A and B are shown apart, each in its own frame.
Chain A
Amino acid sequence: MTHESNRLPQGGQIDRRKRISFRFDRTNYTGYKGDTLASALIANGVKLVGRSFKYHRPRGILSAGAEEPNALVELRTGNRREPNLRATQVELYDGLEASSQNNWPSLKYDLLSLNQLAGPLLSAGFYYKTFMWPAKFWEKVYEPLIRRAAGLGRASGLPDPDIYEKATLHCDVLIVGAGAAGLAAALTAGRAGARVILVEQDHVLGGRLTDDLPTQHQSEGHTWLAAAQDELRAMPNVEIMSRTSVFSIYDQNAVVAIEKVADHCIEPAPFSPRQRMWRIYPQQVIVATGSIERPIAFANNDRPGVMLAGAVRTYLRRFGTKTGERIVVFASHDGAALTVEALHAAGVTVVAIVDPRENSSPAMIAAAEQAGASLFRDSAVIAAHGTADGVTAAEITTQGRTLTVQCDLIAMSGGWDPVIHLASFLGQKPKWNPEMQAFAAINLPKGMQVAGAAAGHFSSETAARSGADAASHALQALGMAGSQPAIPGWQGEPVQGSLYFVAPSRSGKSFVDFQNDVTVDDITLAQREGYTSVEHTKRYTTLGMATDQGKTANVVAAGLIAEIRGVPLAQGAVTTFRPPYTAVTIGTVAGRATGKHFRPTRYSPLHAWCVQMGAVFVEAGPWLRAQYYPQRAGESWFDAALREARQVRQSVGLCDVSTFGKIDVQGPDAARFLDFVYANTMSTLPVGKARYGVMLREDGFVLDDGTVSRLGADHFLVTTTTANAGRVMQHLEFCAQIHCPDYDFAMSSVSDQWAQIAIAGPHARDVLRTIVDDFDLSNEAFPFMGCATLSVCSGITARLFRISFSGELAYELAVPADFGCAVIEALAKAGQNYGILPYGTEALTMLRVEKGHPAGGELNGQTTARDLGLGKMMSSKKDFVGRVLAGRPALVDPARPILVGLKPCNADESFNAGSHLLERDAPKVIENDLGYITSTAFSHVFNHTLGLGLLQRGQERIGETIMAYDPVRSKAVLVEVCHPIFYDPENSKVKS
């Protein structure tokens, strides 16, 4: 256990009554509630926390927030291990276990730091230049090697035990960021009664409010912050969401945020999520996301112990910990004076202030005098000296000479950059604002405003005022009004200074992008080699990539590029902002939609009965359909399906056909509408009759087939295939609303209302007869293609259709879904004497292929009615959807492949769906392709494989022998072209 040697005896917003134990790299440490992992490590004197991506250079903590590029750690162990978390954002909890990453064998002695020796070789564009030849090495050698070397941290590789979920909120005003601006905005909007959501990524509110106030205003700031929080928490119309980060925004200001519900706990509470993704739909958005301090590039500026000046202040004031004993402050603006003041107040020695400006400001001079620090004007830190354990000295150039100042920390600041990611995610390019000395968000989406430091109001007072003003504007847009909170006069805070990006050159690497190891030299080389656009520079050097996305690097790089090119920064640019702002776990994106519940499953009302019968199920779109019913252990699908098909042909079988789409169409214009949507005529259908129908798309291709039954003069029932049920309903709705708005009829899906059972086989009538209530099933009274409403099983309302997909005498019986299982059980019982069996989709396919009925393989969206041999169904007496475009020359070309039957010349041979059809001796090349096989099935009737296929000039070729070639299995089989209806072409069975 180490001692918190850097912890100040008092101060900070940590709870000193609650001590916390944690481990980093297998060493025990302590901290306090309210600490981050970074602040606790600093308090314990830990400077070295990670190794850099490319060169494995030792790295320390640079910042105190989301912008941290160096201190990436792995958190937790086992199946909860998570890589690449910023130590600056990890809230400390008792039992926390973290480890550094990207090193071997240890953080201190990392063998791969030898990469630094190869530094001159690993310049920008190294991969592009090096791995060009030999070309064939790329796929087999280079790419695998690069992939192995790439990446930071290790995923657990185990199933995540935690719950992730999604939820939705709506509000009038969404305020992103609860610093001075966000709080003032929330108070203004909240007081007006607007529904307000205030989102803060940190676990405490206030942002930099208290860090950035001069010492004399500290207590005033705390009081204001506490009062603001109290008032907001008391407002029922204000929802405060801390530990929540807005990571992206989409059209109409739809915002997504991630709430770290339980990341601050060792594990989530039982049945509670670890993280939750919020979809937030606000009327108005106020982006009050603050700003990020800009580093300065100088040699070895990545040494542990080089830190952003604002972060030094945060660790002092918020976490009550000092970051060093002897500090050099290197800053080009007056903000650093606050750090000097805070350090001095905490009893930390500031040995030197290095200001690159020719004339330091009064604020800086006063701070130096107060702290007793040497002030070097018109000077620069040109190098940090030290080891992996930290900085030992700063090398300063001043007035033409170089001197070395012993220190253990260099606090740097090149100014502040507004966090404008959210304001830019929708495609708006930020523009350089000379007054702000930063890139500013412009052309904001409707309903969005930027406030506070994110809008260039860098002092707490001006930030708060701009937040309140933004809220007033938002209220105005909402037709509301409210009073702004009183904002104390916290004047005296320093603002911006001069632009300063890169210190004079000296040997040693000067880093611009710490996370991706991109140096001043890399960017300079990219410019020299012509990659002058910032987007090209990014791709060439890896600047601004990965989880960091250039938060601290992009503007320094833009400044450097402008300097190299000799153009003003106003002509410069930063790379496109892309979501997410900070990394988002895949678990949160998936939410609850994982495993079996990745998507909803649709169960037939007869599912329970199918399970009872031992069905093996197959996914058919969202449905689970009974595929086959093995009767003994180990019975194959093929044997089971063949047995089931045989039973249907020889006696009787039952099939669950509830999954077919069913659409109820009623009204005076119902028949007229069906005439319009079907290629064939439906208005002539007598009541009590069903008709096969073909529906075309607007482009003339077949959309779906099915039956239409006329239940009454103005009442029809349309059936569709299982696969196309939703699509047909959508199509009919479109036709009803767009093409036929004046038709008087109503349409509704009744697919869920009715369980439907096919009873097929020579004994179908015998079985059915036992359950119908007083209904004449004779062929004369209820012939083929009849339909009727009746009752079964002593009073259950039912609909009966004498239609057949199998080619046998068959009925489809529909009963309300609640009664489905009871009725099919009654049928099964009634059929016992006939050996009745359930049959699944495999047997169904065998039966329908024998009968030549088109299904999924043939209704594939690329076939016309004519292709399927249904050309004569297209009425010439009426208009219908698809009629005109079905007449396009290409669609009536006689050379189009049309539906044919195929059987093997040698009955012992089989062929597969997808095989291509070629002349029997033709070379197997695409130029000789004549068509393809759409469906195959083994036929117990014929005792060999049968197929349906689409073949050029198919009708003329009946009787010819051609080749079916399966390029996947390299299998060629000679097949005979035949009529697609193999079984009972006279249709005598179905009419029996």
Chain B
Amino acid sequence: MRGAAHATPTVNAAWLRGARCITITPFREQQAACAAWLAQNFDLAWPKAGRIVVKGDLAAAWNGPGDIMLIDAKGNVSIDQILSALAGKAAIVDQSSGRIVIRLAGEKARRTLMKLVDIDIDPTVFKPGMGGITALHHMSVGVFKIADEPIFWLHAARTYASDVWHSLAEAGEEFSIDMQVLDKG
């Protein structure tokens, strides 16, 4: 825990170590088939641009035009299962080692995030299920709102993880941010 401005932390950041991140980019005219497979196997709808679809620890997040990222906070999803199911239909790329997933939650989570990203995260417009790829201190991050409490999920490049983590610590220190690493979500 950093900071001492508040007696108790009013924001907490958890690095969900072991989360799986797999991008699925359907080839031409294959999105419907991929979406059907996603719905059937994970009960997740194909996310529209700027959206995330969440079921428990599993989420399908928009990752760019024609590209989604399947995020499993618990790290249970098997890439082999996806590769065999969607072979020839989509480019399946494992990014589990390449991205870090951070859950940011608590009363001051929004105030903390306001210091880091330029997108509009006001609760009246940034509803659960919304998000996007944006810049955080010159680094590219995915920022998604999972719940109204609020809970946000961020994903960032592993090689920049140290600076993302540092930026979060700095932004949240006036709120006594609690920072921890959670293995397997």
Interface stretch (choices B42-50, B145-153, B163-171): B163-171
User: In the complex, which residues of chain A have a beta carbon less than 8 angstroms from the beta carbon of B171?
Assistant: 165, 592
Given contacts A600-B137, A605-B158, A748 and B91 within 8 Å (CB-CB): yes
* Beta-carbon nearest neighbor of B163 in chain A: A600
CB distance from B108 to the nearest CB of A (A): 12
A168 touches B124 (CB 8 A): no
User: In the complex, which residues of chain B have a beta carbon less than 8 angstroms from the beta carbon of A623?
Assistant: 159
| Docked pose: A273 CA to B167 CA in angstroms | 14
User: In the complex, which residues of chain A have a beta carbon less than 8 angstroms from the beta carbon of B95?
Assistant: 748, 750, 752-753
User: In the complex, which residues of chain A have a beta carbon less than 8 angstroms from the beta carbon of B118?
Assistant: 168, 279, 281
CB distance from A876 to the nearest CB of B (A): 31
| Docked pose: A825 CA to B13 CA in angstroms | 31
CB of B109 closer than 8 Å to a CB of A: no
* Beta-carbon nearest neighbor of B124 in chain A: A195
Which residues 733-771 of A sit at the B interface, judged by CB distance below 8 A? 744-746, 748, 750-755
A-B contact count (CB 8 A): 119
Contact partner of A816 (CB less than 8 A), chosen from B3, B96, B124, B137, is: B96
User: In the complex, which residues of chain A have a beta carbon less than 8 angstroms from the beta carbon of B170?
Assistant: 165, 592
B3 touches A271 (CB 8 A): yes
CB of A667 closer than 8 Å to a CB of B: yes
User: In the complex, which residues of chain B have a beta carbon less than 8 angstroms from the beta carbon of A752?
Assistant: 95, 97-99, 157-159
B98 touches A746 (CB 8 A): no
CB of A599 closer than 8 Å to a CB of B: yes
A817 touches B173 (CB 8 A): no
A170 touches B96 (CB 8 A): no
CB of B35 closer than 8 Å to a CB of A: no
B91 touches A600 (CB 8 A): no
Contact partner of B174 (CB less than 8 A), chosen from A272, A602, A744, is: A272
A167 touches B115 (CB 8 A): yes
B28 touches A817 (CB 8 A): no
CB of B5 closer than 8 Å to a CB of A: yes
Given contacts A603-B159, A816-B96, A271 and B91 within 8 Å (CB-CB): no
User: In the complex, which residues of chain A have a beta carbon less than 8 angstroms from the beta carbon of B122?
Assistant: 170, 195
* Beta-carbon nearest neighbor of B65 in chain A: A737
CB of A378 closer than 8 Å to a CB of B: no
CB distance from B28 to the nearest CB of A (A): 4
A746 touches B91 (CB 8 A): yes
B120 touches A592 (CB 8 A): no
User: In the complex, which residues of chain B have a beta carbon less than 8 angstroms from the beta carbon of A604?
Assistant: 159
Contact partner of B90 (CB less than 8 A), chosen from A602, A746, A751, A755, is: A746
| Docked pose: A44 CA to B12 CA in angstroms | 49
Which residues 76-105 of B sit at the A interface, judged by CB distance below 8 A? 90-91, 93-99
| Docked pose: A439 CA to B136 CA in angstroms | 41
User: In the complex, which residues of chain B have a beta carbon less than 8 angstroms from the beta carbon of A165?
Assistant: 115, 170-171
Given contacts A602-B160, A752-B98, A664 and B93 within 8 Å (CB-CB): yes
* Beta-carbon nearest neighbor of A171 in chain B: B122
Which residues 592-618 of A sit at the B interface, judged by CB distance below 8 A? 592-593, 597, 599-605
CB distance from A785 to the nearest CB of B (A): 24
* Beta-carbon nearest neighbor of A733 in chain B: B64
User: In the complex, which residues of chain A have a beta carbon less than 8 angstroms from the beta carbon of B96?
Assistant: 753, 816, 818
Given contacts A195-B124, A746-B25, A602 and B159 within 8 Å (CB-CB): yes
A818 touches B97 (CB 8 A): yes
A751 touches B91 (CB 8 A): no
A746 touches B67 (CB 8 A): yes
User: In the complex, which residues of chain A have a beta carbon less than 8 angstroms from the beta carbon of B2?
Assistant: 271
* Beta-carbon nearest neighbor of B112 in chain A: A167
A605 touches B159 (CB 8 A): yes
CB of A237 closer than 8 Å to a CB of B: yes
| Docked pose: A818 CA to B94 CA in angstroms | 12
A744 touches B115 (CB 8 A): no
* Beta-carbon nearest neighbor of B18 in chain A: A818
A750 touches B98 (CB 8 A): yes
User: In the complex, which residues of chain B have a beta carbon less than 8 angstroms from the beta carbon of A169?
Assistant: 114
CB of A303 closer than 8 Å to a CB of B: no
| Docked pose: A593 CA to B163 CA in angstroms | 11
A593 touches B159 (CB 8 A): no
| Docked pose: A605 CA to B163 CA in angstroms | 14
CB of A270 closer than 8 Å to a CB of B: yes
| Docked pose: A477 CA to B43 CA in angstroms | 42
CB distance from B136 to the nearest CB of A (A): 9
A269 touches B5 (CB 8 A): yes
| Docked pose: A692 CA to B166 CA in angstroms | 39
| Docked pose: A886 CA to B30 CA in angstroms | 38
Please give the number of chain B residues whose Cβ is less than 8 angstroms from any Cβ of chain A in the complex: 45
CB of B181 closer than 8 Å to a CB of A: no
* Beta-carbon nearest neighbor of A272 in chain B: B174
User: In the complex, which residues of chain A have a beta carbon less than 8 angstroms from the beta carbon of B176?
Assistant: 271
Contact partner of B124 (CB less than 8 A), chosen from A167, A237, A602, is: A237
User: In the complex, which residues of chain A have a beta carbon less than 8 angstroms from the beta carbon of B3?
Assistant: 270-271
B120 touches A605 (CB 8 A): no
* Beta-carbon nearest neighbor of B159 in chain A: A602
| Docked pose: A265 CA to B184 CA in angstroms | 45
CB of A668 closer than 8 Å to a CB of B: yes
- Per-residue contact bits, chain A 809-820, to B (CB 8 Å; 1 contact, 0 not): 000000011110
User: In the complex, which residues of chain A have a beta carbon less than 8 angstroms from the beta carbon of B119?
Assistant: 168
CB of B117 closer than 8 Å to a CB of A: yes
CB distance from A82 to the nearest CB of B (A): 21
Contact partner of B97 (CB less than 8 A), chosen from A195, A272, A605, A668, is: A605
CB of B139 closer than 8 Å to a CB of A: yes
| Docked pose: A165 CA to B169 CA in angstroms | 13
| Docked pose: A755 CA to B97 CA in angstroms | 9
Which residues 154-187 of A sit at the B interface, judged by CB distance below 8 A? 165-170
A744 touches B28 (CB 8 A): yes
B162 touches A603 (CB 8 A): yes
Given contacts A165-B115, A668-B27, A754 and B162 within 8 Å (CB-CB): no
- Per-residue contact bits, chain B 109-148, to A (CB 8 Å; 1 contact, 0 not): 0000011011110101100000000000111000000000
A601 touches B163 (CB 8 A): yes
User: In the complex, which residues of chain B have a beta carbon less than 8 angstroms from the beta carbon of A817?
Assistant: 97-98, 158
CB of B36 closer than 8 Å to a CB of A: no
Given contacts A664-B93, A816-B97, A599 and B114 within 8 Å (CB-CB): no
Contact partner of B120 (CB less than 8 A), chosen from A272, A281, A745, A746, is: A281
* Beta-carbon nearest neighbor of A665 in chain B: B91
| Docked pose: A734 CA to B4 CA in angstroms | 48
Given contacts A752-B157, A754-B97, A593 and B114 within 8 Å (CB-CB): no
A270 touches B90 (CB 8 A): no
| Docked pose: A458 CA to B23 CA in angstroms | 61
CB of A666 closer than 8 Å to a CB of B: yes
| Docked pose: A965 CA to B12 CA in angstroms | 60
CB distance from B104 to the nearest CB of A (A): 15
A748 touches B138 (CB 8 A): no
A contacts, CB < 8 Å to B: 165-170, 195, 237, 269-273, 279, 281, 592-593, 597, 599-605, 623, 664, 666-668, 744-746, 748, 750-755, 816-819
For the complex of A and B, 9 pairs with smallest distance between CB atoms: A753-B98, A752-B98, A746-B91, A746-B25, A170-B120, A817-B97, A666-B91, A816-B97, A600-B163
B contacts, CB < 8 Å to A: 2-5, 23, 25, 27-28, 66-67, 90-91, 93-99, 114-115, 117-120, 122, 124-125, 137-139, 157-163, 166-167, 170-171, 173-174, 176
Known: A168-B114, A170-B120, A745-B27; 15 extra A-B contacts, CB below 8 A, are A167-B114, A168-B118, A592-B170, A603-B162, A623-B159, A664-B93, A746-B25, A746-B66, A746-B90, A748-B93, A748-B95, A752-B97, A816-B94, A818-B97, A819-B97
| Interface CB pairs A-B, < 8 A, 15 | A168-B119, A169-B114, A269-B174, A592-B167, A597-B137, A746-B91, A748-B23, A748-B25, A748-B67, A750-B98, A753-B93, A753-B97, A754-B98, A817-B158, A818-B97
